[in-house]
């Protein structure tokens, strides 16, 4: 790679990807409506060009996805349960129409694309671990919870249809519960750390027995870069996630121990707080054999180490602590 475009490069995963690309000598164009995080050192990353733009504006996007670009990392999306419950139309427009714009322009320019997707595409399939070709099991279309899953699945369908039918060079990465510095305090790890450092009791949804496989940001970036550069990645989808399954309750308690918080967790009943627009997923576990065998990728950062790194960063960044946590 030499010149790359990162849509959504001001976001959590995107900003870490941009830093890694810049550090390793690539010219990076960030296309995003937002601004870089306050701790993003622009002086240290002078080869990064920030272009403010809407992913649904195809004409503006065409100015950055040009034949001199080697790879487009497409990370722009509406992400987070709180956002896709409150903004379901934006989820569909941005995640589907925005992706179509990126793919169409990349095809025309002859540029390779990595599409960021999500473990949410599997829905509530009860048979874990999930392989990349496993069935999707979703709830009702009347439940906003599933707009994000459906929009990301459509984005994948667009990518693979264009790979098979039109010769697009593309890969898909499905992230599993990525966490780390800069993540908005709206997720299990980031929200729990934010509460702990403010002396507030951690909050567990319902029973806390739901399981997840938490993936540290550095590991997610490693997998994303391999999907863009490894010859075997072309035309494939990869689960990018940890193989360690933990209950949400266990992770919340571990954050309490590492932070020195003595507060006992409180319980939030989602049925009462969110109504029938929200449905949880009992288990979310990836089968990562494909990424391991084709790309040589697997998670390297243990959960305890990743949480400790994130806590250390959070303590050193008051701007993040000053953010208001997202409402349940």
Cα–Cα distance, 29 to 148 (Å, whole number): 26
Catalytic annotation, pick one of 84, 148, 179, 216: 148
Contact between 8 and 77 under an 8 Å Cβ cutoff? The reply is yes
What tens digit of pLDDT does each residue of 77-96 get? 988 777 767 788 999 999 99
- pLDDT value at 8 more than 90: yes
Mean pLDDT of 107-115: 98
Mean pLDDT of 33-54: 96
* Per-domain residue ranges of the chain: 3-321
pLDDT at 261 (0 to 100): 86
Mean pLDDT of 220-237: 97
The reply to whether CATH 3.40.50.2300 applies to domain 3-321 is no
According to DSSP, the β-strands at 211-212 and 246-247 are antiparallel
Give the other-Cβ count within 10 Å of 257's Cβ: 12
- pLDDT value at 2 more than 70: yes
- pLDDT value at 291 more than 80: yes
What is the rounded average pLDDT for all residues in the chain? 93
Cα–Cα distance, 216 to 250 (Å, whole number): 17
Cis ω before 129 (30° cut-off from 0): yes
Cα–Cα distance, 286 to 174 (Å, whole number): 9
Q: Which residues contact 317 (CB under 8 A, 6 or more apart)?
A: 38, 39, 181
Mean pLDDT of 294-323: 98
pTM, full prediction: 0.95
Cα–Cα distance, 73 to 32 (Å, whole number): 12
- Alpha helical stretches, state H, 93-173: 98-109, 145-166
278 catalytically annotated: no
What tens digit of pLDDT does each residue of 184-218 get? 999 999 999 999 999 998 888 888 899 999 999 99
pLDDT at 268 (0 to 100): 73
Cα–Cα distance, 239 to 243 (Å, whole number): 10
Strand order in 237-240's β-sheet? 48-52, 27-32, 3-7, 71-74, 112-118, 170-175, 237-240
Q: Categorize the per-residue pLDDT at 265 as very low, low, confident or very high, splitting at 50, 70 and 90.
A: confident
Give the other-Cβ count within 10 Å of 95's Cβ: 26
Q: Which residues contact 246 (CB under 8 A, 6 or more apart)?
A: 211, 212, 213, 214, 303
């Amino acid at each position: 790679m030499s010149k790359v475009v990162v849509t959504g490069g001001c976001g959590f995963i995107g900003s870490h990807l941009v830093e890694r690309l810049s550090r390793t000598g690539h010219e990076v164009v960030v296309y995003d409506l937002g601004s870089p995080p306050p701790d993003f050192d622009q002086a240290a990353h002078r080869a990064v060009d920030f272009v403010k733009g809407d992913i649904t504006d195809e004409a503006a996007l065409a100015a950055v996805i040009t034949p001199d670009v080697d790879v487009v990392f497409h990370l722009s999306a509406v992400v987070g349960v709180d956002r896709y419950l409150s903004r379901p139309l934006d989820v569909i427009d941005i995640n589907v129409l925005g992706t179509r714009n990126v793919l169409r322009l990349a095809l025309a320019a002859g540029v390779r694309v990595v599409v960021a997707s999500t473990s949410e595409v599997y829905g509530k399939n009860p048979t874990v671990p999930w392989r990349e070709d496993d069935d999707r099991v979703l709830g009702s279309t009347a439940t906003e919870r599933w707009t994000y899953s459906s929009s990301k699945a459509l984005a994948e369908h667009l990518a693979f249809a264009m790979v098979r039918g039109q010769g697009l060079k593309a890969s898909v990465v499905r992230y599993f519960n990525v966490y780390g510095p800069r993540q908005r305090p709206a997720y299990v790890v980031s929200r729990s750390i934010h509460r702990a450092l403010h002396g507030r009791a951690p909050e567990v949804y319902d029973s806390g027995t739901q399981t997840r496989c938490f993936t540290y940001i550095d590991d997610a970036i490693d997998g994303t870069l391999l999907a863009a550069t490894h010859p075997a990645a072309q035309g494939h989808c990869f689960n990018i996630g940890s193989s360690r399954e933990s209950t949400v309750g266990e992770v919340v308690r571990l954050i309490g121990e590492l932070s020195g918080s003595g507060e006992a967790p409180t319980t939030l009943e989602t049925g009462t707080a969110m109504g029938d627009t929200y449905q949880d997923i009992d288990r979310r576990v990836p089968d990562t054999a494909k990424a391991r065998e084709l790309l040589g990728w697997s998670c390297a950062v243990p959960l305890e180490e990743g949480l400790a790194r994130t806590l250390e960063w959070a303590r050193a960044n008051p701007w993040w602590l000053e953010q208001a946590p997202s409402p349940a």
